[in-house]
Amino acid sequence: MQEVVIVPATRTTAGSFQGSLAGIATPELHVAVIRHLLEKPGLPHAAPTLTLNKVCGSGLTALHLDA
């Protein structure tokens, strides 16, 4: 059986239209979050993951996986 790790919610900052984050590509913001998660909980560099998002179908996927 594989070890299950639940990490606290971590997200990119919320910017405003044409604000200070406008010049940073979205993937670069995500890289910062992923690096933080790799360092803080000590996750391996390759791990299967599932992201839950209340505004898309991934919440439904989580229900199916739990069933």
pLDDT at 54: 60
Q: What is the mean pLDDT of residues 6-22?
A: 78
CA pair distance 50, 61, nearest whole angstrom: 9
- In this prediction, residue 67 has a pLDDT band, given cuts at 50, 70 and 90, of low
Could you give the number of structural domains in the chain? 1
**DSSP letters along 24-37, please?**
S-HHHHHHHHHHHH
- In this prediction, residue 56 has a pLDDT band, given cuts at 50, 70 and 90, of low
Domain span at residue 20 reads: 1-67
- In this prediction, residue 2 has a pLDDT band, given cuts at 50, 70 and 90, of confident
Which pLDDT tens digit goes with each residue over 17-44? 888 888 888 888 878 877 887 787 777 7
CA pair distance 39, 10, nearest whole angstrom: 13
